[in-house]
Amino acid sequence: MSKIAFIFPGQGAQYCGMGQDFYEQTRIGKETYDMASDLLGFSLPELCFEKNDRLDITEYTQAAMVTTSIAMMRVLEAEKGIRPQVSAGLSLGEYCALAASGVMSDRDAIRTVRQRGILMQEAVPAGIGAMAAVLALDACKIEEVLSSMEGVQIANYNCPGQIVISGKKEAVEAANEKLLAAGAKRVLMLNVSGPFHSSMLTGAGERLGEVLKGVEIQTPQIPYVANVTARYVRDREMVKPLLKEQVYSSVRWQQSVETMVADGVDTFVEIGPGKTLAGFIKKITKDARVFNIEKLEDMEAYFS
């Protein structure tokens, strides 16, 4: 049976002007941004649409990305009647998937990622941690190299040929040399503000767990795929523990896509800035259709 999945990008896809046409030309888009502004106490349109030095700072990026993707999703649902059978998001994007699945309200998703961003930003002093993308080396080989090292681990299984590692700066740099020697085509240090999805953020995950105690969680109306397990979540009791663990655990995106494909998903609708996930999916499976919604005109092009 054919199934549609809504998928949502994570941190790093943001850019100035993202979602501006949804805000200026649709009632639901405007209401979503204005709701987030009232909720957080600063202007989301100003943050997202005007040049500033905050959009790329984690504590602001996360709220901006989630607000933008949720606004786009709600407009798509209302104007085109498109509904998914499953949802998933890469790292931060998992909170949009929670909103899509009815697990968390839009307000709670935005409010929670604001706190998540602050906790992750403050977790590790600048310059102590690092991340790097490893290109064209099998995941099992990377796991083998890292198994003999301390202070570095796999952060993201993005797609075949692209794995991200994370941890202490010196350990990541040492791993880079070993991975190149093991056959990696390239290893690129990433311009990020912290060693995300590594054990260095365990404290941030624990503190997020405290934040989540005050968040209302509903039973999923449709299943979503958790980053930590790459499996469907249908039980609301699983949501908070997985979100806490997600902060310091590997993001199993490739495995998540494989789970959805095995379940009959043949159409992926990427909602949010950029086309990062579409690129990953095309490397994971050749058979799926992938649509990108980041401009109003995309909705008309794909779903008119």
Judge if 40 and 146 occupy the same domain.
no
3-state secondary structure of 186: strand
Tell me if 183 sits within 8 A of 140, measured CB to CB: no
**Tally of structural domains, the chain:** 2
| Residue for token pair 């030309």 | 25
pLDDT mean over 94-110: 98
Domain end residue (candidates: 171, 189, 207): 189
Torsion of CA 127, 128, 133, 139, to 10 degrees: 180
The 10s digit of each residue's pLDDT in 116-137 is: 999 999 999 888 999 999 999 9
**54/135 same-domain check:** no
Q: For residue 1, what pLDDT is reported?
A: 62
| pLDDT at res. 304 | 79
Q: Does the annotation count 199 as an active-site position? A: no
Q: Are 147 and 139 in contact (CB under 8 A)?
A: no
Residue-number span of the structural domain to which 118 is assigned = 3-124+199-303
Catalytic residue, from 69, 166, 193, 197: name it: 197
| From 27-31, 67-71, 123-127, 201-205, the region with the lowest mean pLDDT | 123-127
Mean pLDDT over all residues of the chain? 96
Per the residue annotation, which of 91, 166, 249, 256 is the catalytic one?
91
Q: Over 80: is that where the pLDDT of 231 sits?
A: yes
pTM greater than 0.85: yes
Q: CATH no. for residue 139?
A: 3.30.70.250
CATH of the domain at 207: 3.40.366.10
**Same-domain check for residues 13 and 91:** yes
Whether 33 and 75 have beta carbons less than 8 Å apart is answered as no
> What pLDDT score does 191 carry?
82
**Residue range 153-175: average pLDDT?**
97
The gap between the terminal CA atoms of the chain, to the nearest Å, is: 23
Residue whose pair of structure tokens reads 């009632």 in the numeric block: 27
How far is Cα 55 from Cα 42, in angstroms, rounded to an integer? 13
The pLDDT assigned to 257 comes to 98
Residues 107 and 213 in one domain: yes
Q: Are residues 89 and 217 part of one domain?
A: yes
Q: Are residues 14 and 59 in the same domain?
A: yes
194 within domain boundaries: no
- Specify the pLDDT at position 192: 83
182: helix, strand or coil: coil
- pLDDT at 179 exceeding the cut of 90: yes
The DSSP result for 82-107, as a single string, is ---SEEEESGGGHHHHHHHTTSS-HH
The answer to whether residues 34 and 157 belong to one domain is no
Q: Please indicate whether residue 87 is annotated as part of the active site.
A: no
What would the mean pLDDT of 167-186 be, rounded to a whole number?
Answer: 97
Calculate the alpha carbon distances from 181 to 157, 172, 178, 185, 241 in Å: 20, 14, 5, 10, 38
Same domain, 114 and 159: no
* pLDDT average, residue stretch 225-237: 97
Average pLDDT over residues 162-180: 97
Token pair in block for residue 20: 């501006």
DSSP 198-264: SGGGHHHHHHHHHHHTTS-----SS-EE-TTTSSEE--GGGHHHHHHHHTTS-B-HHHHHHHHHHTT
Q: Which of 47-56, 160-169, 191-200, 237-246 has the weakest average pLDDT?
A: 191-200
Residue type, 239: V
Q: What is the mean pLDDT of residues 176-200?
A: 94
120/133 same-domain check: no
**For range 168-178, the mean pLDDT:** 97
